[in-house]
Chains A and B, each alone.
Chain A
Amino acid sequence: MNKITFTIDGQACTAEAGQTILEAARANGIYIPSLCWFEGMKPAGSCRICTVRAGGRYMAACTQPVSEQMVIENMAPDLEDMRKALVEMLFVEGNHMCPTCEKSGNCELQALAYRYQMLVPRFPYDFPVRRVEPAGPKILLEHNRCIKCLRCVRGVKAKDGRRVFGALRRGGRKKIAVDLSLAAALSDRRAREAMDRCPVGSILKKEVGFIVPVGKRKYDATPIGSDLRKAEG
C-alpha cells in the first residue's frame, strides 16, 4: 500500500491511505487533543476539540482523511486557545462539580482543562437545571455532566447490536436517552465499559465510585496525551 507523506507542525510524518489526520498523528506519536473520538469507533466530529489547520482551512482531525503533502498545523497558539475555549464552553454549559465527581482523575474533560490550565471560564455559567436519571439497576445517568459527545450512543450496544443509548432533540436541547430494558440487561462488564466509554462522569456504573484511590487514577501521574511519545510536539 502506498504511504502518504505529510507534516504536522513541520515534522515529517507518514500515513496509510485512508487514515484520518488524528489516526495518522497518533501513529506518528503526535497528540492531537480529542474528546468525542474513541479508538475503534466511527468518528463523529462533533466536539471540534481536535480542530487542526491545513492550507488555511480548519478541519476536524478525527474525520478529515490525511492527504499527500498535507501541511498541518496542530499546536499553533491560536488553535490551542480555540480548543481551550471549547473546553470552557463545555464546562459552562453543564454543571461540572469536579471535587465531588467520582470520575475526577479519570475524566477526559477535566484532564483537558488541566492541560489547558483553565482557571475560570471566559464565558458565563449557564447553570442548567438537570437531574440524575435512574437507568435500570446498573446505571445512573448524570445529565448535569453530559457533553453530548455521543460516544455512548455510538458505542454502547446490547448483545444483539441494538443501541442502548440514543439522542433526543437537537442543538442545545439535545439530551441522551436510554432504553431501559436494554440497559437493565447489560452485564456488569458491559455496564462498566459504558461508564469507561463516557469521557465525563455522566454514565455511572452503580457502586463503583471512588474505588480507585487518588494517585492511581488515569490522569493522576501523567497528563492526558502523555501516552503518545511526542505529546507536547
Chain B
Amino acid sequence: MARKITIEPVTRVEGHGKVTIHLDDAHRVTQSRFHIVEFRGFERFVQGRPYWEAPVLVERLCGICPVSHHLAAAKAADVIVGLGLEGLSPTAEKMRRLMHYGQMFQSHALHFFHLCSPDLLFGADADPAIRNVIGVILRHRDLAVRAVLLRKFGQEVILATAGKKIHGTGAIPGGINKNLGPEERDALLRGPAPFNAETMIQWAAEAVEFFKDFHKKNRALVDGFAAFPSNHLSLVRKDGALDFYHGVLRAVDAEGRKVLDDVDYQTYLDHIGEEVRSWSYMKFPYLRRLGKADGWYRVGPLARLNTCDFIPTPLAQKEFEIFKDFTKGRPNNMSLHTHWARLIELLHSGEVIRDLLLDPDLQGTELVRKRKKRREGIGLVEAPRGTLFHHYQIDGHDQITMANLIVSTTNNNEPMNRAVDWVARNVLEGQTEITEGMLNRVEIAIRAYDPCLSCATHALGQMPLAVELYDAGGALLDRRSR
C-alpha cells in the first residue's frame, strides 16, 4: 500500500517547515521533500524604511546569527554611501571583522556542542529524553561546561563590538559606532583562565581532535551518511584564503573544477539565479552557468573549505591540510564532514579573534567614512551557515525601494532536500515500521546544514515532530508524535 510520511512541523528560522516522504506499495520512495511553509516577508516590509535602518531591522530575521545580517546589510549600505570594503577606515573594518569572527565562534560552538553533539555522543537511536543538551550536561559535564564557555566567549566579543550580544547596532553605513576600549580588549585577551583567547583556541583545537577521534571510530557513518556530490560556493579572499567577512565569489564543482572564480559580488545577479517551486516558500538558487538542473550548490563550512586554497592562521591551516588530505585534495561531499569543517573554522575564528585583539587599530578613532552616495548596494558575508546576500535599492529620499535577501538556508535548500532524500532512500525505504530513530536521522541530515531549524535544537520535552501514515487514497492510517 502506498504511503505518505509527513514530518511536521520542521521549522526554519522561528518558523515552520515539514518533510514529506511518499512510499509506494513496495515501500520504495517515490518522492521526498523538505518544504518551507513559512513566509517571513522581510524583503517587503523593509521597503520604505530609511537605508541606514536596514542593518538593525533585517538582523531581526534571526536570533542565532543576527551579526551576519547586520554586517551584510551594513556592507550593502557602505556601497550606498559610496564606499566598498577598501573605503572603510582600518578601525571600522577590523571592528566589524572582530564582531563577525566572534559570531562565527559562538555560532559554531552552539551548533556543534548544543545541537549536534547529542547525536554523536548518544547515537541516533538513543532515547530522546537523553539525546539532548541536558543529557550532554548530565553525562559529559566537562564537555558541556566548555561548550557554554566557548559560546559565551564569542558572545562577549559581539557585546564588545556591537553593543549587545543579540541584535546589536555596531555597524553603521560607512563604518562602526564604537572602537574597542583597552579594558574590553584586555578582558578578552588576558582574562583569568579559562576565559581568554588562548584558552579558547586550545579548547577549539581539542574540539577538532574530539571530532577526528569520533570519525576514526565511526568511519562508515561519518563518511557515508547523506554523502552526495554537489557544487560548492563561498566568498574567498582575493588570494584564495578562507575569509568570512569579505572576498570574491568562487564556486567549484564536485570534482574541484572552478565554475566561478574571482567574481565581484556586486554582479551576483549575473551568476546566481533563483528558481521558484510551487510547494515551498523558499527559493532554489542555482549557478546560471550550469543551469537550473545542475547549478545547485552547497554553502557553509564544508563548501568554504572546498573552495578556499588555504586558511590564513597556523593551527587551522594545519587541520585544513589534514582535512584536505582525507579526500586527496578533491572537494569533500560528505554531509557529516560539515561538522569537521565547522570545528576547523571554530579554531580559525579563535585565532583571528586573538590576532585582531592584538591589533592597535582597534583603538583607532576614525570610525565612519562617506563618499558620493549611490542608489544601490550589495553586501555579502560568509555567515556561519554559508553565503549571505543582501541587495538594496533606494530612492532619492533615502528610502528603500527594493530588497533581495538570499540567506544561507536558501542557498542550502536543494542540498538539504537531497540529504533528506538520501535518508529516505537509505534508511526509510523498504521499512514497514517507521521508528523514532529513523525520523531523527532525517533531522540529523538537515541539522548538518542549518541549525536555525527548530527541529535542530533538540528541544526539551515534546520534540516538534509528527509523522502521519496515509494510504494511497489519503486516509490517515497511523500517527506518531513525540
- Using a CB–CB cutoff of 8 Å, the interface residues on chain A facing chain B are 99-100, 102, 131-132, 134, 140, 204, 206-207, 209-216
Apart from the given pairs A206-B52, A210-B52, 18 other A-B contacts in the complex at a CB distance below 8 Å: A99-B56, A100-B56, A100-B60, A102-B52, A131-B48, A140-B50, A206-B50, A206-B398, A207-B398, A209-B50, A210-B177, A212-B177, A213-B163, A214-B162, A214-B164, A214-B169, A215-B163, A216-B178
Q: Which chain B residues in 18-76 approach chain A with CB under 8 Å?
A: 48-50, 52-53, 55-57, 60
Cα–Cα, bound, A132→B398 (Å): 11
CA distance A206 to B173 in the complex (A): 12
Q: A210 to chain B: which residues have CB within 8 Å?
A: 52, 55-56, 169, 172, 177
**Does B167 count as interface, using CB distance less than 8 angstroms?**
yes
In the complex, A165→B345 CA distance in Å? 54
Contact of A132 among B49, B81, B167 (CB under 8 A): B49
Q: Which residues of B contact A207 (CB under 8 A)?
A: 52, 81, 173, 370, 398
Q: Are B50 and A214 in contact (CB under 8 A)?
A: no
Residues of B within 8 A of A (CB): 48-50, 52-53, 55-57, 60, 81, 162-164, 167-170, 172-173, 177-178, 368, 370, 397-399
A102 with B48: in contact, given A213-B178, A214-B163 (CB under 8 Å)? no
Report 6 cross-chain contacts, Cβ distance below 8 Å, ordered by A residue.
A102-B53, A132-B49, A140-B398, A209-B53, A210-B169, A215-B163
Identify which of B81, B173, B397 gathers the most chain A CB atoms within 10 Å of its CB: B397
Q: Is the CB of A102 within 8 A of B398?
A: no
Residues of chain A lying within 8 A (CB to CB) of residue B163: 213-215
Query: A134–B48 Cα gap in the complex (Å)?
Result: 10
Report chain B residues within 8 Å CB of A209: 50, 52-53, 56, 172
- Which residues of B lie under 8 Å from residue A100 when comparing CB positions? 53, 56-57, 60
**In chain A, what residue has the closest Cβ to B398?**
A206
For A131, the chain B residues whose CB sits under 8 A away are 48
Contact between A213 and B170, CB atoms less than 8 A apart? yes
Looking at the assembled complex, report how far the CB atom of A56 sits from the nearest CB atom of chain B, in whole angstroms.
Answer: 47
Q: Which of B81, B162, B164, B172 has the most CB of A within 10 A?
A: B172
Asked whether B172 lies within 8 Å of A211 as measured between CB atoms, the reply is yes
Chain A residue with the shortest CB-CB distance to B167: A99
Q: Which residue of A lies closest to B174 (CB)?
A: A207
The answer to whether A99 and B60 have CB atoms under 8 Å apart is yes
Query: A132, A134, A210, A214 — which one has the most chain B CB atoms within 10 A of its CB?
Result: A210
Rounded to whole Å, the gap between the CB of A40 and the closest CB of chain B is: 29
- Report A-chain residues with C-beta under 8 Å of the C-beta of B170: 213
